Amino acid sequence: MKKEAIELVTNIYRANSSFDKKPHLQKAREKIETIRIFFRLARDLDQVSLKRFVNINEKIENVSKQLTAWKKSIK
């Protein structure tokens, strides 16, 4: 999860500093979905409490919505 989070932030940085943002935003969207799946798996395996899962999932959803809006704004 840590590696995916680092790659997510890297792709957001690249999109922010690049003229062609689309490929970086697509990679960032893939990373956020991978992170979401990993946290669901961690919850299913009782590695994360329900309270922590809900808290983190809200943050993941927030980032996902921001990425989607950013992608729509560049079309």
Q: pTM for this structure? A: 0.89
Distance between CA atoms of 51 and 72, rounded to whole angstroms? Answer: 32
Which residue type does 5 have? A
Cβ atoms within 10 A of the Cβ of 65, count? 10
Which tokens in the block code for residue 72?
């729509």
The confidence score (pLDDT) of residue 17 equals: 96
- 21-75 pLDDT tens trace: 999 999 999 999 999 999 999 999 999 999 999 999 999 999 999 999 999 998 7
The confidence score (pLDDT) of residue 44 equals: 96
Distance between CA atoms of 14 and 67, rounded to whole angstroms? Answer: 13
Q: How many alpha carbons lie under 13 Å from residue 37 in its C-beta half-sphere?
A: 7
Distance between CA atoms of 50 and 46, rounded to whole angstroms? Answer: 9
The confidence score (pLDDT) of residue 75 equals: 73
